Chains A and B, each alone.
Chain A
Amino acid sequence: MSELYPWPGNYEIGDHRSPVAVVTLSNDFDFDPKEVAIWGPMKTENLGIEKVVANVLSNPNIRFIVICGEEIRGHRSGQTIMALIENGLEENGRIKGSQGAVPYIENVSHEAVARFREQVEVVDLLNVTSKEKIEEAIKRCIDRDPGSFGEPYTAVKIETEDKTAFEADFALHSSLKVSPWGKISSMEER
């Protein structure tokens, strides 16, 4: 986690002025930090994509997102992030056109997703594992850099409101009554 990329994840950081982010899916590649702003693998078609969206939004210099490396079987995370950029979200947070297992974006707002879709252009290198080809694509992106997208946008994580004070008079969960002798029943049976 860094100040510029506030959502924790498995990523490496290069020059923040670069217009390129690279999602390497199941592969671990290293890139020239002078050429790529942020890169790393992405495993899941929901939480993984949310992290990418949030961290790309916080750096408006990023204008291209290269999707490369071997697809995550079952999750189809690469196809799903491209579907997100192409089609956006349904009202309930489902990514339109995704072939992934559970393709939902629920922890970043629809507004943030809309901005992400505007900010970046996708470079489809799905299932490409040739480092040379990926680096060529990165260079082409740098050559086409349209400049910053504007002010950084901080995607705030949507938290479920379920904080419970330590003074709460129940154990384990508010729906459960746990007797001092370890008998568990529903709270309403009290």
Chain B
Amino acid sequence: MFSFTQEQRTYDMEGVKVGGQPGIHPTLMVGTIFYEGQFEDPESEQEKAAELIRKQDELSRMTSVPSMVDIFIYEKEEIEWKVDFALEHIDGYFSLDMPESEVRVKVLDHLEEIGGLDRVIYNSLNLGVTEEEIEELKENTPGGAVLLGYNPQKNNTQGRVDMIKDGGALMDQGLLPLAREADIRYTLLDTAATPFGEKACETLRAIPVFKNEFGLPVGCSLHNTVESWKWLNGYEDKERVFETLDTSIDNLPVLLGADFIYYGPIENSALALPNMAMVNKLIAEGAEDYFGAQISEDHPYRSL
């Protein structure tokens, strides 16, 4: 639908291409595992988790839509077994979703010890970053990082740009300069989904603005916004509708140029990937017909 005059960088992450002009590469779809409440006893249910990863991989092969696994690590006590699980069951890059700074620091330490840092997409470098964490990142640098544009003080598009660029009024330095100082190779920019009523639409508006401003791969996780819709809780066919909305909301950022999507629970891969294959086909067709874009070889536009 759109093309940017600003040069758009494409990363080649062990064969998974992400970024570039809209339509050329299919969207990188990231499914989350070990999120709160997914399993009763996650440590003893790793085989179920591995099966879900295999299913996502299979759907990627089937649809030509690339995927990655995102693993939640909430507490220090979970670090060892979850990192081991990732290294054993995942080929290539994987994202580690770690809300707490203290956990992020320990994860970097652990990965430095056992190896595998270069395969990690650090999720995320955000406003909550601490001095200790910055030093740790410089010493034990992950292969990539998601830079979260969440700016609670100014949560419109400009505020989100500021967070990446110069930290706005809340940080001395922007997240992108920080990532560059730490020499993080792959920086994925997340426009930071906010709930309805909290400038949720700016998450979308920021997609083309980020692409134009930074020329780097951009994405978001708008399924979080769907979850914030209280009205749905009272809807009688809630589960089916929720699944549909969770899937379809990802079409909006991709239409505006998004390169990657954190689509939420990995269980939804059977809906999320075929849906994205359709959207990618449509956009690729337009990019080729209209802008003369060279669509990549491994693309649902060609294979499906």
Contact = CB atoms under 8 A, between A and B. Distances in A.
Interface of A: 8, 10, 26, 46-47, 73-76, 92-93, 99-107, 160, 162, 172-173, 175-176, 178, 181-186, 189
A106 B153 contact: yes
Most buried by B among A46, A101, A105: A101
Give 5 closest A-B pairs by Cβ, nearest first: A74-B99, A185-B5, A73-B74, A106-B153, A101-B99
Interface string B247-289: 0000000001100000000000000000000000000000000
Contacts of B156: 160, 162
12 contacts: A47-B198, A93-B170, A99-B100, A102-B150, A105-B152, A172-B205, A172-B208, A172-B256, A178-B2, A182-B3, A184-B4, A185-B5
Contact of A189 (B5, B74, B159, B291): B5
What is the interface of chain A mostly: helix, strand, loop, or mixed? loop
Contacts of B75: 73
What is the interface of chain B mostly: helix, strand, loop, or mixed? loop
A104 B99 contact: no
Nearest to A98: B128
A92 B169 contact: yes
Contacts of B197: 8
Nearest to A47: B198
A172 B2 CA distance: 12
Given A46-B152, A73-B74, A175-B212, A101 B100 contact: yes
A10 to B, nearest CB: 6
B2 A104 contact: no
Contacts of A182: 1-3, 290-291
Interface string B1-37: 1111110000000000000000000000000000010
A47 B74 contact: no
A186 B212 contact: yes
